[in-house]
Structure 1
Amino acid sequence: MGGAPATHGLDQPTMESELRALAWATLLTPAFAVYARFASRRLRPGLPRLAALFPTFPVFVYLPCMFNSLHLRLFSTFFHTWLAINKLVLLALDLGPLHPSLPLLPFVLCAGLPIKVRLGQNPTKHSTSSPPPPPVADFFRPCARSVLLLSCLAAVYPYTGWLPLYALHFLYCIQIFLTLDLVLSSAALVSAALLGASLERQFSAPLAVASLSDFWGRQWNLMAVDLLRASAYEPVRARWGRDAGVLAAFLMSGLLHELLYWYMTLQWPNGEMLRFFILHGVFQIAERWARAAGLWRPPKAAAYLLVSGFMVVTISEMFFGPFVRAGTDVRLTEEASAMMELVWSTVKHLLRPSGMVSS
C-alpha cells in the first residue's frame, strides 16, 4: 500500500460528525429537488429555468465538504456535485432524466440518487396471468455479493505487501467496482421498493471486457455515461462529429475527476486525471478506426488480455498515482476494513439471540 501520510487537511471521521453530515444531506437534497420540480413546472426551459435552479448548485458543491470519511465524501461528490447538478442543468434545458411531469417521489429520488427507471415498461399493463418479479430482486444479489467479496478483500489486504504494484492496483480496481456496485445497487434497491418500478443496473461486467468502447459505453457506471452523453457527447457530435463528441465526453469526465481529486485530498490537481481520460478517449477512437479498417480483430481472449493490460497499466500509473502519493489509498482501505468489521459485528450481534453464533 501507499506509504504516504494520511490525506492532508481532513480530520478523522467520527460517528457523530458523519451522522450529522448525512442528516444535512438527507434533508437538503430532497428539499432542493422539490424546489427544482416546483420551479421547472412554472418556468419555460432555458435561461429562466436555469436562473431559478442556479442557487441550488453551490449547496450541492459544498455538501461533500461536510464529510470527513473519504467514502462518504466520494459518494457525496458523485451523487450531489456530479449527478444532481448535471441533472438540474439538463432539466433547465428540458433534457436528461428529470422532467417536471414526473410525480413528486420519482422526481426526488431520481434527482438525488443515481437511479434510472427502465424504459419501455408500463407497470399498469402487466399480464394478470404472470405477474412480474419484484423489482428489488435485481439488486439484492449484487448487494450480497459485494458485501461478501469486500469482506474477503478486507481480510486479504494485510497480506498483500509482497504483491507487485500492478497486482495491488488491480485489487484496488476490484474494490472500487464492488464498493460502487454495493452503494448504487443499495440505492436502487430502496428506490425500486419505494417506486414499485424496475430500475436499470448501473454496472454490467466491467472487469471482463474486450474493448474500451464496451467498458466505457456499456459496462461502467451507466448513469454517469448517460449524463455525459446528454451533456457533452451529443451536443458536440451534432456540431463537430462523432470523434469530437467522444473527446468532449472524456474531457468532461476528466475535469470531474480532477474535482474529485481535490475533494478527496484537498490538494490542487496536477492534470493527471485529465490526461488519463483524454488518453482513453483517444485510444477508444483509434480502436474504432482500427476495427472499421479491419486492422483490429484479435481473438476475444487476446483482446481481453490486451484491454485489461492497458486498463491496469494506465490506471496504476495515471489514475491511482496521485491518490497513492496523497495517502488516500491507505485511508480508504482502513475505512473499508473498519466498515466491514462493523457490518459483521452487527450481524453477529443480531444473530446471537437465535443461537446461530456463540458469544
Structure 2
Amino acid sequence: MEGYTDMKKVMSYWMEGEINNFIKVWLSVYVSLSYCYLSGKIVPKGTRRLISFLPVVGLFLLLPLKLHSMHLGGLTAFFIAWLANFKLLMFAFNNGPLSEPSLSLPRFLAIACLPIKLQNSQSENKNQISQTEKGHKSLLNYAIKGLLLALLIKIYDYTDYIHPTIMLGLYCFHVYFCLEITLAIAAAMARAMLGAELEPQFNEPYLSTSLQDFWGRRWNLMVSRILRPTVYVPVLSWSTNILGRKWAPLPAIMSTFVVSGLIHELIFYYLGRVNPTWEITWFFLLHGACLMAEIAVKKSVKGRLHLPRIIATIFTVGFAMITGFWLFFPQLLRCKADERAFAEYVAVGAFVKDIFRALTSRVPFSYT
C-alpha cells in the first residue's frame, strides 16, 4: 500500500507534533468553555450572551485546523466545531443541556464538548425511556465490536486482493464500529468523572426498519438531539403556519438534513484539507428527500400497509449502504482516509510496543 514507505517519519509526527498540538487545542477548549460558563452566570440570555459567545464559536471553527490526523483531528472537529458550537448557541438563549442552572463547571465542560447528555430523572415521554433502555449495551457487546474492528484493520493488509466494492462495505462497518467504540469510551470517562448515567449514542443502526427509524432513533443520537432544537423545531414552527400541522414536518426534516450535510462538508474539510465537491451534501439531501417521501406515504396509508420487519431492515440498511458507496465514502477515499487511518494504527501500535519493550527491559524509553 502506498503511503507507508517512511513509517518512522509518520510515527514521529504522530507521537510528537500531533499529540502536542492535541493537548494545546484541548487546553484552549477548556479555557474557552470556562469563560462561557462564567459568562452565562453574568450575561443575561439573548443577543448579549450570544455576542459574548461568538469569539469562542469562531475559535472552535479554527482550532481543528491545528490537527491533521484522522482520529484526533476528526474527533476534535466533531466535538467542538459541531457539538460544542451548537450547544453554545442554544445556551446563549438559555436552551439545551448547558442551560441547567445547577451544572457545576466540570459537568459543564464535559457536556459542552463531549457527545453526552445527562439523563433526566423523568424522561420526556415513554418513547425516550424505551430508547434509553435499548441503548445500554453490555461490555461483551463492545468487546465483540472491538474485536471486529481489529479484524477489519488486519484485513486491510490484503486490500490488493479484495474487490473495491467489498472494501467500501468494510469501510461502512469500520466507521460504525470506530464511532460507537470511541463515543462509548468518551461516555464511560464522563460517567466515571461525573458519577451520572448518560444517554446512549447509538442503538444498533443495522436493525433499522425505516429511514425514520435509522436517523431518528438509532444513528448518532447525540446529533439528532442537537439538530432537533436548533433546526427542526424552529422550521417546524414556521412551516406550521404555512402548511398546517400535517405537512409542516416535511420542510423541517429537509432543513435538518441540509444543515447536517453542510456540517459534514466542514468536517470532511478538516479531515482532508481539500475543497468540497458537495457529494456529502447531496447524500444528505437524498436521504432527506427519501425520508420526506417515506413519511408522506405513511400518512397516506395510515398504518394499513406494513413490510415484514426483515424485509424493511434489508431495504433500509441496503439503501443507506448503497448511497454511502455512491456519495459518502468516495469522499473519504479522496483524502486518503483509509491510508492515513491505517498509518495511525501502525504508529500507535509501534509506540505501545516500544514502551512495553522499554519497561520490560528496564531501559530508559526514548522515541527517536
Q: TM-score range by the shorter chain?
A: 0.7 to 0.9
Structure 1 residue 153: Cα displacement:
1.1
1:142 deviates by 5.4
d(CA) in 1 for partners of 2:137, 2:38: 32
Q: Is the 8 A contact 1:272 1:322 kept in 2?
A: yes
Match of 2:265 in 1: 258
What does the per-residue CA deviation read over 1:170-219, in whole Å, with 9 as the maximum and x for residues that have no partner? 21111111111121111111111111110011011012212111111111
Match of 1:286 in 2: 293
Q: In the alignment, is residue 312 of structure 1 matched against residue 292 of structure 2?
A: no
Q: How does 1:76-155 map to 2 (within 5 A)?
A: 76-99=76-99, 101=101, 102-120=103-121, 140-141=139-140, 143-155=142-154
Matched position secondary structure for 2:275? coil
Question: Post-superposition shift, 1:349?
Answer: 6.3
Structure 2 CA distance for aligned equivalents of residues 347 and 141 of structure 1: 28
Matched residue type, 2:330: G
**Distance in 1 between the 2:262 and 2:254 partners?**
12
How many angstroms apart in 2 are the aligned matches of 1:195 and 1:214? 31
Deviation at 1:38, TM superposition (A): 0.7
Report the alpha carbon displacement of residue 164 of structure 1 after superposing the two structures with TM: 3.5
1:297 corresponds, among 298, 306, 328, to 306
Contact 2:14/2:347, CA 8 A, preserved across alignment: no
Aligned-pair CA distance for 1:147:
3.0
Distance 1:139 1:227, change over 3 A: farther
Q: Determine the C-alpha separation between the residues in 1 that align with 2:179 and 2:105.
A: 27
2:217 matched residue in structure 1: 218
TM-score, structure 1 normalization: 0.85
Identity %: 32
Q: Which of residues 268, 271, 275 is equivalent to 1:268?
A: 275
Change beyond 3 A, Cα 1:155–1:107? same
Q: Which amino acid aligns with 1:45?
A: K
Question: CA offset at residue 312 of structure 1?
Answer: 1.2
Cα separation, partners in 2 of 1:212 and 1:24, compared to 1, 3 Å: same
Letter of the 2:117 partner, please give it.
K
Distance 1:170 1:213 in 2: 22
CA distance in 2, matches of 1:334, 1:304: 35
Q: Which residue of 1 aligns with 2:54?
A: 54
SS of alignment partner, residue 206 of structure 2: coil
Which structure has more helix as a fraction of its residues? 2
Runs of 4+ in structure 1 over 6 Å off? 346-353
Measure how far apart 1:274 and its partner are. Answer: 0.8
How many angstroms apart in 2 are the aligned matches of 1:270 and 1:302? 34
1:98 alignment partner, SS class = helix
Query: How far is 1:86 from its partner?
Result: 0.7
TM-score, normalisation: structure 2: 0.83
Aligned to 1:38: 38
1:160 to 1:302, Cα distance in 2 relative to 1, 3 A: farther
- Cα distance, 1:107–1:326 mapped onto 2, change above 3 Å: closer
Query: What residue in structure 1 maps to residue 73 of structure 2?
Result: 73
Per the alignment, in what secondary structure is the counterpart of residue 14 of structure 1?
helix
- Cα-Cα RMSD: 2.7
Structure 1 position 249 matched with structure 2 position 250: no
How many residues align? The count is 332
Distance in 2 (CA, whole Å) between partners of 1:167 and 1:296 is: 34
How many Å apart are 1:340 and its aligned residue? Answer: 5.4
Aligned to 2:184: 185
- Structure 1, unaligned runs of 5 or more: 123-136, 354-359
Distance apart, 1:160 and its partner CA = 4.0
Question: 1:322 Cα deviation (Å)?
Answer: 2.1
Is the CA contact (8 Å cut-off) linking 1:83 and 1:114 kept in structure 2? yes
